[in-house]
Amino acid sequence: MDFPQTIHDFGGFPQALFDVQYNAPGSPALALETKALLRSAHVELDHDWGLDHGTWTIIRHMYPEANIPVLQLSIDYTKGPQYHYELAKELYDLRKKGVLIISSVNMVHNLRMVAWDKMQEPEYGYDWALSINDKFKELIATGNYRPLLNYQSLGREAQLAIPTPEHYFPLMYSLGVGVGNEATFFYDKAVGGSLTMTSVKFG
């Protein structure tokens, strides 16, 4: 679509977040090109949904003037990590053409265990959250993706970090399009005990 609407798909947060409007243009041409690249999956173009908080909460800080075309891809949660990783490789041609590919993800994201009274405390993380976050970073940095594709094998810490996969599966796309490139970590801190904001850039 030419100008995707801003979707506020969350609840219980300050009104200021509900007031945000991020009016970046879309890119119908890029959407068609992306659909053509994804040969192993049936892809439909959506002209109604717009940009949800997984997109605009990130890019509004990167491009506050909202003058960069934005295309959001949805994820099929009925598929496993390996599926998403392989699908991501089909997007690599976009990266070669200069398209910035962002995966909005928290490797550790357990809202049920958040210590809300510690949210203002800088870099507060439970031991298990810090431990598994370090493990994730080690696997990413060394290019050892197999355990990440089979995260259930990483034990109880991983199960606590990923109670549901919607905040984890986007990482598979970063791994898929970033394979072979050096990983650099930034904004690496824990929040509220059971969340980490660790970010990684490839290349």
Q: What confidence tier does 12 reach under pLDDT thresholds 50, 70, 90?
A: confident
Q: Whole-model pTM?
A: 0.90
Spatial neighbors of 117 by CB under 8 A, at least 6 apart, are: none
Cα of 44 vs its chain's centroid, Å: 20
Hey, what domains does the chain have and what are their CATH numbers?
A: 1-74 (no CATH), 79-203 (3.40.830.10)
Q: What is the mean pLDDT of residues 88-115?
A: 94
pLDDT tens digits, residue range 87-99? Answer: 999 999 999 899 9
Q: Give the separation between CA 177 and CA 34, rounded to whole angstroms.
A: 14
Q: Give the separation between CA 7 and CA 202, rounded to whole angstroms.
A: 28
Spatial neighbors of 13 by CB under 8 A, at least 6 apart, are: none
CB 70 within 8 A of CB 26: yes
Does the pLDDT at position 179 exceed 90?
no
Q: Could you tell me the sign of the dihedral formed by the alpha carbons of 183, 127, 61, 48, in that order? A: positive
pLDDT tens digits, residue range 17-57? Answer: 999 999 999 999 999 999 999 998 989 999 889 999 999 99
